[in-house]
Amino acid sequence: MFTCDEKSTPETCKKADIAFKNAATIVENTFDLKVPIAVNASFVKLCGTFIKCAVGQPEPLGAAAPSRLLPIKDNTDGETRLFPQALVKQLQLPEHPEFSPVDIVAGFNSNSDTFWFRGDPPIGKDQVDFEIILVHEFLHGLGFITSWDDYFNVNASSLTPTPSFIFTNPEETDGIKEGPITFTGFQEYILDRHLVLTKDNSSLTPIAKKINGFAPLNTKFDDQKAFLDAFTKSPVYKETEIMFKNSITRGSVAIRLVDGENVLIETGLVPFKPGSTFSHVDFDAFGNTTDFLMRFKAPRQVTLDDLSPINGDPEYTNPIGPKIISIFKSLGYPMKENSSTFKIISNQNQDSLTKSSQNSNKTKLTTEQQQQQQQTNNAFTITTNTLLLFLSSFLISNLLL
Ligand SMILES: [Zn+2]
């Protein structure tokens, strides 16, 4: 499902649409999807609608996340973790919690002049290939996210997995729920299963368990403040502070691959950057490697047609690198063999795009064309409110700057 806001020109919307199809093709040729995945992708003004943006900071290029994370008992160790819906579909379990109609929600900033599209003049030094951004964000939506974050403090100082609560008697003001809560545990995501401390390759799961030991499951609290008071005073709270320290100490945490190799994750940003820290691979370790894609910052002046300036290997044409493929495989996704040389070949769509954009510069659209565009806009437009409702149920933790 593709939404393009009316402020973008029809030409830009068409270019964005082609880019979405190409990014989907890259995913389809890397993942051996057993069940189709539905993506709700929007090319809109992100700030103030999709997400809150900090004043004076550069606007994010895109944001994406699974539309729903489902609690599933993990067969490998019997722990229950939150799985992205797209993955649960591939597992084809006999029973599963209810699915949302879409699997991935993604938004891209139409307000940005950073994007480079196929058919544009040669890419500038500050521009990023829109298709590279799309593939990066789709991978977050497919499950490249961790639960470890600071959910309680304005200035991050303590990390936990995602806390979950049930409101026993919710009163709602401005969309924020209040009232008595039942604490239902800090929940790990599926990727968290593979996180280790590099000092001794020990798993983070026992730390998550220790933090969970703060109160028995289903403990009731008068309100969120009462929960927080009890939590910060509990002896396990120091574990969350140690985890925070790890998150700002470069090289301290890694995703451990099945072959025993460690893929460092981003713990080198000081101060802690929500959305960037922990949910990406280490920036410096993966520059000029085939696994450049999941670093927190998008590569400038590099196009999918020639990745060699960023991945260092002209033979490896897929933006999704071997380590990232190995990570998704260990999450449980069926992956295609030999996808390393997959490459998008510019097709007739692009030729016709170039022609039509040349025409549109010279001639006005015919009434029929205008009507067609109107219909397309109507068919794909959803209001900002719907988007907010859609997104309010989870933390968008993956901004690509
Ligand atoms: Zn990202």
Q: Which two tokens stand for residue 220?
A: 């009731």
pLDDT in tens, 190-236: 999 999 999 999 999 999 999 999 999 999 999 888 999 999 999 99
Ligand 1 center to residue 223 CA distance, Å?
A: 33
Residue 364 above 70 pLDDT? no
Give the C-alpha separation, 293 to 255, whole Å: 15
Judged against a pLDDT cut of 50, whether residue 360 lies above it is answered with no
Q: How far is the CA of 65 from the centre of ligand 1 (A)?
A: 10
pLDDT band at 317 (very low <50, low <70, confident <90, very high): very high
Listed by start position, the domains of the chain span 2-145+292-400, 149-278
Say how many Å lie between the CA of residue 195 and the centre of ligand 1. 17
In the prediction, which pLDDT does 347 show?
Answer: 60
CA of 245 to the centre of ligand 1 (A): 21
Give the pLDDT band of residue 32 (cuts 50, 70, 90).
very high
The predicted-structure confidence for 259-287, as pLDDT tens digits, reads as follows 999 999 999 999 998 888 999 999 999 99
Rounded to whole angstroms, the Cα distance separating 100 from 15 reads 28
Q: Kindly tell me if the per-residue pLDDT of 246 is higher than 80.
A: yes
Please tell me the predicted confidence (pLDDT) of residue 44.
87
The residue written with tokens 């000092």 in the block is 199
Q: Contact 30/135 with Cβ under 8 angstroms?
A: no
Query: What is the distance in A from the centroid of ligand 1 to the CA of 327?
Result: 15
Q: Is 185 helix (H, G, I), strand (E, B) or coil?
A: strand
